[in-house]
Amino acid sequence: MNPAERIAEALQSRRNVLLLNHVSPDGDCLGSTLALAHALWGRGQRATVGSSDGVPVMYRFLPGSDRVAGEIPAGETFDAVVFMECSSPDRAGALAARAAGVPLWVNIDHHLSNTGFGHLVLLDVNAGAVAEVAYPVVRTLHPSIDRDIATCLLTALLTDTGSFHYASVTPQSFLLAADLIRAGASPTAVYAEVYENRSAASLRLLGAALSGLAFAEGGRVAWTTVTQAMLRETGATMEESEGIVGTLRSIRGVQAALLFKEEAEGIRVSLRAQGGIRANVIAETFGGGGHAAAAGFTVRASLDEAVRRALGAVRQELAAAAHAHPGDAT
Ligand code: AMP
Ligand code: MN
């Protein structure tokens, strides 16, 4: 029995399964937890999808998203918990506390920074999306992949692979997409829901962020900020800042792009990298994590101080990369 089958076997006899998303959930995480929930629901099992930060508006088209719980009644008990895309349990946010005392912890992820916690671990750091990791579990539990499951998984795959163009994309990503489209998922509909359904306010926010665009390290680093004042002025929400950092990385010559987001708990930094720069290594120095190409962390300091410290860490990683691959230095 392979690890995915072992997880499916362990889940199929449970009375009530808790499926946890990470904080600031993205399409990959939500799509994968919902696909697993549909598989359990389809078998007649009880399962609750928990998301400490709720469901961003752009993902509310996902079948089952109306059943995602931001809070769980105190009396409800679970006999298994699945942490989806959580490199450590605390990534699940406030709802992580509900895993205490649950007898089975399952950890499904594709992040390099995953600590390997839990009783059953399914980790593939080479997967383009956690959907690819979760799919064999879903399929073993519920062999007939219906349109709802397929739509959830295709959304996960599409969003986490940058619509199939990131370096993390493998033949496996396309094979999964083929299965999902055959099962009834529509790439046209999913793309339109996620990327062509934007509010005017989110574009005003993009404009404001781009007008504050700054460069460092001779143009190899691009950064900007989204402050609470900018949200008030544009009418956008912080979740609508998703995508801005990718726009910065698309600038010619940029190896590292940073977006500094002013949030209640501190400055949340979204980091994107390429050309031998390891975003996860930078993020880990601040207690965050992620992948080589995309990572995040929080700095509990003023915006100016967070920018200063983060740019310092990026400078060190640029130097380390130049040292490791002298030929790449420009
Ligand atoms: P974001 O910039 O929030 O879109 O995150 C980029 C990637 O890094 C995603 O794969 C996140 O799951 C991951 N990530 C962000 N923040 C953290 C953190 N504090 N710890 C571990 N992984 C993170
Ligand atoms: Mn992912």
Q: Do 138 and 73 fall into the same domain? A: yes
- Residue 306: give its domain's CATH number: 3.10.310.30
Q: How far apart are CA 30 and CA 20, in angstroms?
A: 9
Residue 303: burial class (beta carbons within 10 Å; 0-12, 13-18, 19+): middle
Instruction: Give the pLDDT confidence of 57-110 residue by residue, as tens digits.
Output: 999 999 999 999 999 999 999 999 999 999 999 999 999 999 999 999 999 999
Q: Do 167 and 231 fall into the same domain? A: no
Instruction: Give the pLDDT confidence of 186-220 residue by residue, as tens digits.
Output: 999 999 999 999 999 999 999 999 999 999 999 99
Among 145, 162, 195, the domain boundary falls at 195
Q: Which ligand 1 atom sits nearest the alpha carbon of residue 113?
A: 21
- Residue 12: give its domain's CATH number: 3.90.1640.10
Residue 143 to residues 49, 140, 251, 330, Cα–Cα distance (Å): 21, 6, 44, 51
Residue 294 · residue 277 · CB < 8 Å: no
Which residue(s) pair with 294 in the sheet? Answer: 272
270 lines ligand 1 (CB under 6 A): yes
Q: Do 173 and 57 fall into the same domain? A: yes
241 lines ligand 1 (CB under 6 A): no
Residue 133 token pair: 């990791």
Tokens 């009396």 — which residue? 75
Indicate which ligand has the atom closest to the C-alpha of 288: 1
- Per-residue pLDDT for 328 more than 80? no
Ligand 1 mean position, distance from CA 189 (Å): 26
Residue-level pLDDT at 326 = 66
Best residue for ligand 1 mutational test, from 20, 30, 90, 113 (most atoms within 8 Å of Cβ): 113
Q: How far apart are CA 301 and CA 150, in angstroms?
A: 42
- Mean pLDDT confidence for 6-34: 98
Nearest CA among 218, 324, 214 for reference residue 277: 324
Instruction: Please list, residue by residue across 112-127, b when 16 or more beta carbons sit within 10 angstroms of its beta carbon and e when fewer do.
Output: bbbbeebebbbbeeeb
Q: Do 44 and 146 fall into the same domain? A: yes
Q: How far apart are CA 146 and CA 143, in angstroms?
A: 9
Q: Do 135 and 236 fall into the same domain? A: no
Got the DSSP string for 68-88?
-BSS--TT---SEEEEES-SS
For the chain, how far is it from start to end, CA to CA, in angstroms? Answer: 49
Q: Do 76 and 117 fall into the same domain? A: yes
Q: Do 186 and 216 fall into the same domain? A: no
Residue 90 token pair: 């605390």
Q: How far apart are CA 153 and CA 232, in angstroms?
A: 34
Q: Do 61 and 189 fall into the same domain? A: yes
Domain count within the chain: 2
Residue-level pLDDT at 232 = 98
Question: With a threshold of 0.85, does the pTM exceed it?
Answer: yes
Host domain of residue 250: 200-328
Indicate which ligand has the atom closest to the C-alpha of 290: 1
Residue 277 token pair: 């720069």
Q: Do 53 and 176 fall into the same domain? A: yes
Indicate which ligand has the atom closest to the C-alpha of 125: 2
Instruction: Give the pLDDT confidence of 248-307 residue by residue, as tens digits.
Output: 999 999 999 999 999 999 999 999 999 899 999 999 999 999 999 999 999 999 999 999
Q: Do 246 and 269 fall into the same domain? A: yes
Q: Do 148 and 238 fall into the same domain? A: no
Q: Do 155 and 246 fall into the same domain? A: no
Q: How many residues does the chain have?
A: 330
Residue-level pLDDT at 330 = 41
Ligand 1 mean position, distance from CA 269 (Å): 9
